[in-house]
Chain A
Amino acid sequence: MPDKPDRNAIEVVNVSKIFGSGEGQVAALDKVSVSIRENEFFTLLGPSGCGKTTLLRLIAGFDFPTAGEILLYGQDIAPLPPFKRPVNTVFQSYALFPHMTVADNIGFGLEMLGKPKAEIKARVAEMLKLVKMEALAGRRTAQISGGQQQRVALARALAPQPKVLLLDEPLSALDYKLRKEMQIELKRLQHETGITFIFVTHDQEEALTMSDRIAVMSSGKILQVGSPWDIYDKPADRFVADFIGETNFLTAAISGVANGRARATLKSGAAIEATVADGFQPKDNATVVVRPEHAKLTKDKGDLAGTVDNIVYFGTDTHIHVHLDSGETFTVRQQNSRSAGCGFERGDKVGILIGNDAAQVLRD
């Protein structure tokens, strides 16, 4: 794909959405701003009720913001009805038209745009090929499987070549294996069509594996925007660190903050190197996070000291829960091998080594 200068496909500027009035007012979105780049696979990630679907609905035009602007390539689309926006949606329930064939479903958008019949036919054939559904073009949508319906829903939304494709938890109804397949399929489609994808999910694993960038949302706000790597390894605050993967929280005194790095003095007295989240304000006791796989357990003295509390076998790895002498708890994840056990037992006195590039200081 040719390199393009970074252009923003969508800019959400100070958007608020308030439902209800008076006492019962609920802010589903609270002054949210975010930019989504052209050709990007962008994911809105958060638990249910965090406002991610509301934001998607505002971009699609099914609802209108209480305040703020939504720019599509610089033009404010917030007041436009959905049928005037060059943006298409893949619905969670697929919402295929039950009284039409697969081909008619896919051609519907083009037909509504008033395209000539020959062009619609060609484009529908192209879309059927793209999602590998040529054989079922004449079927009713009730006569195909869930995974096939999913492909038709994708083809239908992609057929009019939208400037942005919105996907509202489209994989949630599929079983595990099919979901994995569709994740790869979606990445392929995004790459082949070069369309900007905005994907909504509550599944952090899905977000990490598919996205170019992720926005983590909670209670109507965007907490952090970044690459999957950023979000996982450099979480900005407690919610993000806790929501994505598993992590250990430690209290530490921070000193020498410079160039996004600092020294963190843990309760055990050991001082470790750490990266610092943007927006960190110097304070006495900050929170430091360390991922379980970025720490090592040793029988010697480490940065932390404690007692093994529990050992949980997971197949690929083992989780060892340690009760620290400081009163905190810490989990270490250790890769398994076939020949040897994990080397530790309940009640062992152990040390924990934290690497130089393992710790991140949160902003809150």
Chain B
Amino acid sequence: MASNFSIKHQPGFTAIAATCFVVLYLPIIVLVIYAFNAATSTSEWGGFSLKWFQSAYQNTQVIDATLRSFQIGAIAAVLSTIFATMAALATTRTNSYPGLTFKYAAINQPLMVPEIVTAVALLIFFSRVKIFTGYSGLGYLIAAHTAFCIPFAYLPIRARLENMDLTLERAAADLYATPWKTFRRITLPLLWPGILAGLMLAFVISLDDVVITEFVKSGGQDTLPTYMLGQIRRGITPEINAISTAFLLLSVAIVTLFFFVSRKRD
């Protein structure tokens, strides 16, 4: 009997699963449908139209915020992936020692500390720095995004390193490769899919952030999500739906790419 156990045949399974899917996807489907609404309402259908996509595309604020999001995301993703790669190497290519668990915790801190706490802390810290340096550019946002993206980049890289056969590095050393050459010729090429996955994940996480960005940004530094939040406060038009839909497609594209890259293991 036990070998035939299947969760699918438990009472209520279908109902619970269906509820979950509805709650998850129905709002998104509605949002996407109303992005093509010809009317100005997000609840009354007025026929099919692409005009909200066009209006979003012609809205310089939207374009500015999008470009800023990409800029911050790209730089933060690259920086955090570099740090995450170094951290992953340092925490997997070593014998276990007291304090190693603490280091894992420190690296993964952004996953555990409530985001709002980090946001407030950064707000206070950066305001001091701003007074001392007089600098108020995008650097603060990039630094904040880099910091909270590190654990997301770290996870796939570390998983890849842990699955790698350590004998390969030993074999390279046996064949006269110095530690640096071993890294360049053996470890890095084999780690590459993990690094790419980490990079994409970090980019998506950065693009998506609202809370920390909202607290850290200076005037005129809206990213796409904080711009959308600001618009919604003034009332929703299908333009927001159109932007969200475009954003959704982009995320799906990146996640799909991530899936294929991380699946290309062998």
A interface, CB within 8 angstroms of B: 60-62, 81-84, 87-89, 91, 93, 95-99, 108-109, 112-113, 142, 156-157, 160
Q: Across the interface, do B175 and A99 meet the contact criterion of CB distance under 8 Å? A: no
- CB within 8 A of A83: which of B176, B186, B189? B176
A108 CB to closest chain B CB (Å) equals 5
**Contact (Cβ within 8 A) A160 B176:** yes
A-side contacts of B178, CB under 8 Å: 83, 112
- Taking CB atoms, residues of chain B closer than 8 Å to A160 are 175-176
Contact partner, A95, options B168, B189, B266, Cβ 8 Å: B168
**Complex contact A112–B181 (CB within 8 A):** yes
B167 within 8 A of A: yes
Assess the A93–B167 pair: CB atoms within 8 A: yes
Q: Is the CB of B174 within 8 A of A60?
A: yes
Tell me, yes or no, whether B190 is within 8 Å of chain A by CB: yes
B residues within 8 A CB of A95?
165, 167-168, 170-171
Report A-chain residues with C-beta under 8 Å of the C-beta of B190: 98-99
Given contacts A83-B173, A93-B167, A97-B168, 17 further A-B contacts (CB under 8 A): A62-B170, A82-B173, A87-B174, A93-B165, A95-B171, A96-B171, A98-B168, A99-B189, A99-B190, A108-B172, A108-B177, A109-B175, A112-B175, A112-B176, A112-B178, A113-B176, A157-B175
Closest to B166 in A: A95
Q: How far is the CB of A77 from chain B (nearest CB, A)?
A: 13
Chain B residues, CB < 8 A from A99: 189-190
Docked-complex contact A88 and B175, CB < 8 angstroms: yes
Within 8 A of A (CB), among B169-199: 170-178, 181, 185-186, 189-190
A91 and B175 in contact, given A97-B186, A98-B190 (Cβ under 8 angstroms): no
Task: Tell me, in angstroms, the Cα distance from A62 to B266 when the chains sit together.
Answer: 27
Q: Give CA–CA (A156, B174) in the complex, Å.
A: 11
15 contacts between A and B (CB under 8 A): A62-B174, A82-B173, A83-B178, A88-B174, A89-B171, A91-B170, A95-B167, A95-B168, A97-B171, A97-B172, A99-B189, A108-B177, A113-B176, A157-B174, A157-B175
Chain B residues positioned under 8 Å from A60 (CB to CB) = 174
The smallest C-beta distance from B172 to any residue of chain A, in angstroms, reads 7
Minimal beta-carbon separation of A79 from chain B (angstroms) = 15
CB proximity of B127 to chain A, nearest CB, Å: 49
Known pairs A83-B178, A99-B190, A142-B266; A91 contacts B173 (CB<8 A): no
Residue-wise interface mask of B (41-80) relative to A, using a CB-CB cutoff of 8 A (1 in contact, 0 not): 0000000000000000000000000000000000000000
Query: Interface code B109-148, partner A: CB below 8 Å = 1, 0 otherwise?
Result: 0000000000000000000000000000000000000000
Tell me, rounded to whole Å, the shortest Cβ–Cβ distance linking A95 to chain B: 4
Q: Which residues on the A side are within 8 Å of B186 (C-beta)?
A: 97
Closest 7 pairs between A and B when the two form their complex, measured CB to CB: A109-B175, A95-B171, A112-B176, A95-B167, A82-B173, A112-B177, A89-B174
Known: A62-B170, A93-B165, A93-B167. A108 touches B175 (CB 8 A): yes
Which residue on chain A has the smallest CB distance to residue B167?
A: A95
C-alpha spacing A91/B169, complex, angstroms: 12
Assembled-state Cα–Cα distance A139/B96 (Å): 38
Q: Give the chain A neighbours of B170 by CB distance below 8 A.
A: 62, 82, 91, 95
A-side contacts of B176, CB under 8 Å? 83-84, 109, 112-113, 160
Q: A112 vs B183: C-alpha distance in the bound complex, in angstroms?
A: 13
Residues of A within 8 A of B177 (CB): 83, 108, 112
Note all chain B residues with C-beta closer than 8 A to A61: 173-174
- Closest-CB distance, B96 to chain A (whole angstroms): 13
A109 partner residues in chain B, CB cutoff 8 A: 175-176
Please indicate the chain A residues that have their CB under 8 angstroms from the CB of B165 in the complex. Answer: 93, 95
A83 to B181, alpha carbons, bound, how many Å?
A: 11
Q: Which residue of B lies closest to A98 (CB)?
A: B190
Name the CB-closest residue of B to A60: B174
Instruction: Specify which chain B residues have a CB less than 8 angstroms from the CB of A89 in the assembled complex.
Output: 171, 174
Taking the nearest CB of chain B, how far is it from the CB of A262, in angstroms? 48
Which residues on the B side are within 8 Å of A142 (C-beta)?
266
Residues of chain B with a CB closer than 8 A to A62's CB: 170, 173-174
B266 x A83 contact (CB < 8 A): no
Chain A residues near B181 (CB-CB < 8 A): 112
B174 partner, pick from A82, A93, A97, A113, beta carbons under 8 A: A82
B163 to chain A, nearest CB (A): 12
A96 to B174, CA, bound (A): 12
Which of A84, A89, A113 has most chain B Cβ within 10 Å? A89
Closest chain-A Cβ to B49's Cβ sits at a distance in Å of 51
- A248–B62 Cα distance when bound, in Å, is 91
Q: Which residues of B contact A157 (CB under 8 A)?
A: 174-175
CB distance from A150 to the nearest CB of B (A): 14
CB-CB under 8 A from B171, the residues of chain A are 89, 91, 95-97
In the complex formed, the residue of A with least CB distance to B192 is A99
- A82 to B177 Cα, complex, angstroms: 9
CA distance A227 to B190 in the complex (A): 44
Question: Which residues of chain B are within 8 angstroms of A98 by Cβ–Cβ distance?
Answer: 168, 190, 266
Q: Chain B nearest CB: distance from A92 CB in Å?
A: 8
CA distance in complex: A108, B174 (Å) = 11
How far is it, in angstroms, between the C-alpha of A82 and the C-alpha of B189 when the chains are bound?
22
Residues of B contacting A96 in the complex (Cβ-Cβ under 8 angstroms)? 171
Query: Nearest residue in B to A112 (C-beta to C-beta)?
Result: B176
Q: Is the CB of B167 within 8 A of A91?
A: yes
Q: Which residue of A lies closest to B176 (CB)?
A: A112
A153 (CB) vs chain B CBs: closest residue? B171
Tell me the bound Cα distance from A95 to B165 in angstroms: 8
B125 to A: closest C-beta gap in Å: 43
